Structure 1
Amino acid sequence: FADVLLACECDARGRLGHSEAPYPQRPHLLAVLQAAQAVVTSVIANDALAAGLEGKKIGERVFAARVKVVAAVANITSA
């Protein structure tokens, strides 16, 4: 993902007249990715198991936690 973002930045800056233009998308999206990766899924899974959940329901809890943190970081870094 980071390499794709770098390629996008290179493409944008490689266009005539844009070599020095800011490209805030890459650090913004890297921060969002790092936040999603920082979600401690083992804790979420253990809590879900303790609540009697299994399989897909555990995955839904992990997904919801990642969505929540991504939304929070996206709002902070886009301001």
Structure 2
Amino acid sequence: MTLSAELRGLDHSITLFGRAYFSAAFLLQWSQAGEQRHWLMRAKDNLRYEVVQTLGEGDWLIRIPVSPRARKLYAQLPSH
């Protein structure tokens, strides 16, 4: 994750990340670093989430709770 801080994304884009980048602080910062910056990654088998909207068969927009540990390290993180 140390080197990931040097990654630069593009506005109006979708970036594919491997599961090694699953960090609430990193992903939120990535999304907010520009305009319409989205990300996509394969979910871990034990991921806790809430389906917000079904987009297609096996395709959902989800809401992921931020862990208490992450919120303790980064107080500015939202609950989801």
Could you state the TM-score of these two structures normalised by the residue count of structure 1? 0.21
Structure with higher RCO (Cα < 8 A, 6+ apart): 1
TM-score, length basis structure 2:
0.21
Give the structure with the larger helix fraction: 1
Q: Which has the larger radius of gyration?
A: 1
